[in-house]
Amino acid sequence: MSSMRLTGTPSWLSIRRRAAVPHCGDTGLGDRPGPARRIWAIGGGKGGIGKSFLAVNLATVAARTGCRVLLVDADLGGANLHTCLGMRSGDRVNLSDYLQDRVVDLEKAAIETPVPGLRLIMGTLGHTGTAETSREQREHLFQAVSELPVDIVVFDLAAGASRATLDFFLETDEGVLMATPEPTSIENVYAFLRGAFYRRLARAMSTSPIRDLVRDAMDRRNECGIRTPIDLLQEIDRIDGDEGSRFRQVLHEFRPRLVVNQVRNSEEVKLGFSIRSVCRKFFGIDVEYVGYINFDDSVWRSMKECRPLVLAYPQSDAALYVRRIVSKMLGT
Ligand SMILES: Nc1ncnc2c1ncn2[C@@H]1O[C@H](COP(=O)(O)OP(=O)(O)OP(=O)(O)O)[C@@H](O)[C@H]1O
Ligand SMILES: [Mg+2]
């Protein structure tokens, strides 16, 4: 299906063609000295739904506003951001080199891309490195990333909800969940969200009996009848009020963003609102629906040409929707 303009969409999602994308200085980031200020991660569970496409294009738009942007290909084992940017992996330094101490300075792994202002830390393809990372390695990486002199870091995550992927999602300031209007993708997004929330919660609880309770609750067939975070909160409140307060804090701070991709009609646009309501009602989690992207032939054309959509087809509808998501994320 070729590109199309969606009609009947909610007013806050209406397209505004911008004469120019705002400069990074307009975001309030440009004039603040110091290291990485915003760290985004694109996840969502299911494979092949457009996570890498979004990561590359968000990063490109942000770089075009004048921000110093770093893309990190955290899809270890299935890395392909370099290809999306028209680069060859060759024998360049990649994330595995850093994780396995072959490169000590992370900055050396951040290579220039054809997009001015955008650097990339390449991931690895299965045969050239390992897809496994330990918790210590991930923490070390996050520490190093947050010290780099850049404005925005964008992590592209692997499919699935492995511990490593959930940790990458949780460590960032802003995790973006991506879903497409298909039952399998929607199911995966809920599973991912649930896994991420419980993982974050288990870390926040300070007493081990409560941590055990959280771990039990993660098993949907747990015997204490806990089905949702709300059930769990009631149980924790009953046992330990302080831990209950910590739980509320986690609920309050956990605010993933949501993007619905490959939308074909205005009905599908509403999926984002349904997911948001379900998360609120059953999980007590506030998800922010930051926008959707239509199904657009320009996307796969740009992927085939190994160029970011926003540069290859800047006037396409999908490029407009991507730019609008960046504006929303940057609050401009
Ligand atoms: N909005 C869209 N319109 C049309 N095609 C799209 C759109 N978004 C993504 N695609 C297509 O979907 C395919 C998969 O995209 P991408 O590689 O970004 O997915 P992914 O979620 O990163 O997959 P993986 O989990 O395997 O890394 C690409 O071929 C791309 O062209
Ligand atoms: Mg990908």
Helix (H) or strand (E) holding 332: none
What separation in Å is there between the alpha carbon of 30 and the centre of ligand 1?
31
192 domain residue, yes or no: no
Strand ranges, E, within 117-256: 118-121, 152-157, 174-179
Q: Which atom of ligand 1 is nearest to the CA of 78?
A: 27
pLDDT in tens, the chain (332 residues): 444 444 443 333 333 332 233 456 555 554 444 455 799 999 988 899 999 999 999 999 999 999 999 999 998 778 889 999 999 877 788 898 888 888 889 999 999 999 999 999 998 765 444 557 888 888 889 889 988 999 999 999 999 888 889 988 988 878 999 999 999 999 999 999 988 888 888 888 778 788 888 888 877 666 666 778 888 888 888 898 898 998 888 888 889 999 999 999 999 999 999 999 999 888 888 999 999 999 999 999 999 999 999 999 999 999 999 999 999 998 88
Q: Which atom of ligand 1 is nearest to the CA of 46?
A: 25
What separation in Å is there between the alpha carbon of 299 and the centre of ligand 1?
8
78 domain residue, yes or no: yes
- CA angle in degrees (0–180, nearest 5) for 124-190-270: 110
Residue nearest to atom 31 of ligand 1 (CA): 300
Look at the chain and report how many structural domains it folds into: 1
252 domain residue, yes or no: no
With the most atoms of ligand 1 within 8 angstroms of its CB, the residue from 1, 52, 81, 84 to mutate is 52
304 domain residue, yes or no: yes
Measured from the CB, is residue 295 less than 6 Å from ligand 1?
A: yes
| CATH label of the domain that carries residue 272 | 3.40.50.300
247 domain residue, yes or no: no
Dihedral sign (CA 277, 264, 45, 287): negative
- In angstroms, rounded to a whole number, what is the distance separating the alpha carbons of residues 290 and 306? 26
188 domain residue, yes or no: no
What separation in Å is there between the alpha carbon of 54 and the centre of ligand 1?
8
Q: Which atom of ligand 1 is nearest to the CA of 304?
A: 31
206 domain residue, yes or no: no
Range of the domain at 18: 11-178+261-280+294-330
42 domain residue, yes or no: yes
